[in-house]
Amino acid sequence: MMEEAVILSRAKIGDYLACPRRFQLRYLEHLPWPTTRLDSKGERSRILGQQFHTVLHRHFLGIPPGSEVQSDPDLGRWWQLFQSFEPHIPSGVRKPELTLTVPIGKLTLTGRFDLLVIAREAVHIFDWKTYGRARSAEELRQDLQSKIYLAMVAECGDVLGDKVLPENAVLTYWFATVPPKELSLTYGRQKHAENWAHLVSIADEVEDRMGSDMFWPLTEDRDECRRCAYQILCGRGRGNPDLDEWEDAEEPSPIEPTLP
């Protein structure tokens, strides 16, 4: 296998942890995804999630929403909920839809933040969730997105102006439930050391395997196979993933790959 530059992301790391072989097929061998269309419900969820993020992007740039918030009832409801229950956003420099990139081992890690606020005493990350239930603080602390986003801000603080200490990074999730739920996670030096060491070990493992022509290991979790359209290539199924397993269609999923 020819080595190539790999930019890691939350979606790619999630795929690698779910099944190294899936990562190899998708991102290194670039095999077409066998199933390319969502069901009608999943497709609508994906589109509405993207539209809501666009509405909030415009909002934080000082641009009022367009007619889409009146034409779709779900989108209009989310916008009304956000206006009525907007999370507490501190004063500071606001950077909506900001992409950051940091080196990790011999590879690169990238992430896009719905909203980053550089305040006097802290850097605040905001992430908007539309579909799916509101999750608990403990669930979110263990979530790969939380670990990556907080670690990235702590690692690339110099790019944001001043070096960001891990204890000054805060991640807030806003769930468009009824009523909306807002939940903030704090960070710290010990937690960052643990998170970053884990992420670096994943990057090192990926980099080590990239020089091999061998098949990367298949997951031992057959539930992952049931959700994966590559299952037919691995002799583990018919190639039609179970769409019901995916709650939050605005997130990158194995149904509709988001690159990088």
Task: Pick 19 or 236 by higher pLDDT.
Answer: 19
Buried/exposed 63-76: b ≥16 CB within 10 Å, e otherwise: eebeeebeebeebe
Sorted by sequence, the CB contacts under 8 Å of residue 149 that are 6+ apart come out as 10, 111, 113, 125, 127, 171
- Helix then strand then coil, % of the chain, to nearest 5: 45, 20, 40
Q: Distance between CA atoms of 127 and 101, rounded to whole angstroms?
A: 18
pLDDT of residue 246: 40
> Which of the given ranges, 43-47, 118-122, 182-186, 213-217, has the highest pLDDT on average?
182-186
Question: End-to-end alpha-carbon separation of the chain, Å?
Answer: 20
Is the bond leading into 179 cis (omega within 30 degrees of zero)?
Answer: yes
Q: Residues with Cβ < 8 Å from 132, sequence gap 6 or more?
A: 175, 247, 248
Mean pLDDT, the chain, integer:
86
Q: What type of residue is 86?
A: E
The confidence band for 162, taking pLDDT boundaries of 50, 70 and 90, is confident
* Cα 29 from Cα 2, distance rounded (Å): 10
pLDDT at 174 > cutoff 90: yes
Say if residue 132 is exposed, middle or buried (CB neighbours under 10 Å; 0-12, 13-18, 19+): middle
pLDDT class for 160, splitting at 50, 70, 90? confident
pLDDT in tens, 186-237: 999 999 999 999 999 999 999 999 988 899 999 999 999 988 888 888 888 7
The band of 45, judged by pLDDT with boundaries at 50, 70 and 90, is confident
Could you give the C-alpha distances from 60 to 53, 99, 179, in angstroms and in order?
A: 11, 16, 22
The predicted structure's pLDDT at residue 239: 59
Q: Could you tell me the fold of the domain covering 7-244?
A: Lambda Exonuclease; Chain A (3.90.320)
CB 191 within 8 A of CB 166: yes
Mean pLDDT of 162-166: 84
Q: pTM score, two decimals?
A: 0.86
3-class DSSP state for residue 170?
strand
For 128-154, write each residue's pLDDT tens digit. Answer: 999 878 999 999 999 999 999 999 999
Structure tokens belonging to residue 152 = 């990235």
Q: Residue ranges of the domains in the chain? A: 7-244
User: Which of 5-14, 156-165, 170-179, 183-192 shows the lowest per-residue confidence on average (mean pLDDT)?
Assistant: 156-165
Long-range contacts of 46-49 (CB under 8 A, 24+ apart): 46/249, 46/250, 46/256, 48/72, 48/74, 48/75, 48/130, 48/131, 48/250, 49/130, 49/131, 49/248, 49/249, 49/250
Beta bridge partners of 8: 109
- Among residues 153, 81, 140, which one has the least CA distance to residue 113? 153
